[in-house]
Structures are given as structure tokens and as C-alpha cells.
A and B are shown apart, each in its own frame.
Chain A
Amino acid sequence: MMRAGRFRYHVASTVADAAAALADGGPHARLLAGGTDLIPNMKRRQDTPDLLVSLRHVGELRGISVNGETAIHAGTSLDDIVKSAAIRAVHPALHRAASQIASPLIRNTATLGGNLCVDTRCNYYNQTFEWRKSIGFCLRGPVPDGICWVAPSGRRCWATASSDSAPALIALGARLTLLSREGERDIPLEELYADDGACPLTKRADEIVTSIRIPSRVVRSTYWKLRRRGSIDFPALGVAAAIRPGPHGVIEDARIVLGAVASHPLLVPESQLLIGRTLTDNVIEEFAEGAARHARPLDNTDFAMTWRKSVARSFLSGALRELRGDDPSTFPLLARETALRNGWRFE
């Protein structure tokens, strides 16, 4: 039996209580939401907190309201998000991302806040303690002189950002509220992420994600996920796309985000270049080629990295074609299957 190390356990009754417990607990205190990322990581000794602050009984952290702006409390389960007819209608990218996270059993406990803060992943890191010890561990410790097995000459960790909901929510322009004993602040979601596999979040350890807000602008959105099996597996690539078409199909706003190809969800800078244009075949292909250059998958997750890069281009193009209204049954094989899988399940 793999068992987490020793820790103290505090059941928070309110968000304020959780914030106080985190602040008093110091750097080795962690929030426990669904536990579906934290518990496996603790069993493998990737994380060894000495205090867990449980959010399970914090009712104020649960709930969805779609009333102009959409607000989702961070402790809402992924299953509740998948089952929300309003989210499905208004924010298909989030619906599709959430409905492809892990498995239905996991989504019953997993929360949106936990998904946004999910640890980065790497084939050399997401292993048992004994496995990692046998290769002398890696840059992420626990020994001080470990190397990065993916890029041994460098001094940074290239573990992959693996949240499915983060790219979707960044594409939708979401903002999030962080709360600590010192007060509250509000940031665009993309600013939560640092491009550093070993230290992927910019927020302080004592800050709690309390809510995620998506503006009400009318956009078309989608999320395409690459993984080996149709269930359970983390993304080997995620493409989230949101566009706001104006009169005559002229694009008024566009945000395209790549997941699982870097240590942070990558908001493609060229998204801006789509504004003022219409989605012709040429525009789509030119954009997909340029945007795929930002995808620099490394040999630290499932599938061959060169193939993942080629899929990035095909998914970027497929996602934009889908938003243009093309019939997915005309797409090339993998793109067709991916598009249809989204549809087959829930629509």
C-alpha cells in the first residue's frame, strides 16, 4: 500500500477559516479540495505537506451562476460543471474541457479550483519515490543536485502544464479571485501561470482561488484534446479557441490557447492577428502554421514529441474550422475523430 506521509489535518468551515489556517500553517500547508491530484502526488512523495486544510465542508465555495457574467466558485465539482446546461450552451470550450478531464469517477470529487492549480507533469517526475530514487531523482528534488532528464544541460524544469480547463478558460477571457488573510485580488487567469515546471503558479502559497469569472461577450468556443485513450488520460495536447465573429464573419476578438506543450498554458500571441479578418482557408492555415511554432513539446509526456507538434497544427486548424461551422465529418482522420468525440458524448 502506497501511503502519504504524516500530516496534520484541519477541516475549514469557511473560506476565511481556510485562509487563516493556510497563513498560520506556513510553506508546507496545502489546501485539500477533491484531492485527486494532491493525494496521488503525496503517495508518490512528490509533495510532502505537513498540514492539509480541507475545503470539503466550505459550502460557500460551491456553485455556478450564469447571469450575464458567469461565476463559478472554485470548489464546484467538475461533474457539476459538465452537467450544467448553461455552461454547455454559453461556454462550449469549458464544457468540452471539463467533460474530458480524467474520468467520471474522478470528476465527482475533482474541483475546478484544483484543476487550475493541478501540478505540472513529467514522465521522470510522476513516478513512485523508489522509481525516482533509482535514477538519482531530478531537478525537482528531493536531493539538491538532481538534473532535468528532459534537458540535462539546462537548469530549469520543463514539466508540462496539464490542466484541461485552464486553456479553455484563458481562451474565454476568464479572471479569477484570490483570497488570503491579507485580502482579495483579481487577476486574468493567464497571469496565474509562470513558465516554470517546478514552480508553475505565480500566486502565493497562502492564497486561495475562490471564484472564476467569465465575461458575457458572445463568443464561439471549443476545446480539442489529444490523449491516448478516450478516458482517464491527461492531455498530451490541448487546443482551446474562442472567437467573437462580427457582421459578415469579420472577427472582432480571438484568443487561442495551447495546453500541454509548455510549462504554462500558452496564449498564442498571433491570435490578435485574426482580428479584422474572416476565417478563410488561407487565414486558418497561415494562423495554424504560425501558432504551432509556439508548441515545443518535449520528450516528457505521452506520444512522440515530433508527432505531437504536427498534431498541434492540425488541431489548431480543425478547431478554427469547427468554429467557422465546417462539418467535422470532412476533417482528416484524427481531427474528425476528435471533433466527433466531443460531439458524440454530450450533444
Chain B
Amino acid sequence: MNEIEPTFEAKLVERILKGDESAFAELVAQFHKRIYSIAYRMVGNVSEAEDLCQEIFLRLYQKLSQYDPNLPLTPWICRIASNTTINYLKRRGIKTMPLEIMVNLKEKERPIADEHATPEQAMIVENRDKKLQSAIMELPENYRLAFTLKYVENLTSEEISEIMNIPRNTIKTWLVRAREALRGKLINEL
């Protein structure tokens, strides 16, 4: 998660705050795949993931003046992503799509799979991803967020604890439970 140097990050933010729109496009380009992945893993479908992803970047833009340039940008962005996601899920509340509908979404509703060597391999990965995503959706939201942050951003339990503002031991417990539940669902793939 250290693709950009802190000084570069600070300069980028400074340019955005001065009204440089291309600087904001750079920031979006830098983070959007990871933010989108968090959003998709948390809501489980493309259209809501796109909504949530935009909402996170909007909040990011609005909060940018509060960013302390002496601190690394990524954890700060993760905190905004995490809070916006929690709020989004809270607001969405009961509108949660039933799992069967989510898993049987039509092709264009599924995210574009990452490039894989052969069509066969791509097929295997896609099927596995369907199973993984439906298993992720069965997790409680707090487990799901801790799990998603860990793997999308490659974070330690300490870092997740700071982002989610939850004690580290609780995060560790959530991560063990989440992964044991997922492993149970993916057992045929292992």
C-alpha cells in the first residue's frame, strides 16, 4: 500500500484543495480499484457497489481539507471508506437483497474478473468467486468489513483496529470467525 510517497500524497492533496480537478482524477485512479473492491465485497452487487464507491470518493473529497499531510494517506482513506460503508449499510438497512437473488445476478451485474491465463482458469476463478462472495455476504457486517479491509488493503489486525476503532483482540476474533465460516463454505475449493 505504499505505491505513492507520502510527500507525493501530500502534494496531490494540496493540488486538489487548490481546485486542480486533474489531481482529483489522479487520486481516484490511484485508489478506485481498491475502494470499489471494498464496496463490492460489502454490498455484493455491481450497481450498489458503484453507488457506494462514488459516495466514498465524494466524502473523501469533502473531507480532504481535514487531512493531515504528515500522516499517510491510505489509512485515512480507509477510515473514510469504512465509515461511509457502515453508514451506507445502516441507511440501506432492510433493503438488503436476499442472497439467492444476489448469487443469481445476471452476467453484467457481476464484476469483471481479473485477467487470467486461460478461459478455463477464468471459469474456475469465476465460479469460486461466486461461492466466496455469497459466503462473504453471509458474514455479519462487522466481520465482513474487517475481512475485506484486511485483504483488499493488506492490513494487520492493529491497523484494522485503528481504522474501525475497535479493540485489536476483537478484530482478531472477528477475523478468525469470519475465515472459519468462509473456509467451511469453500471447503471443496481447498
B partners with A: no
- Chain A residues proximal to chain B, CB less than 8 Å: none
- Chain B residues proximal to chain A, CB less than 8 Å: none
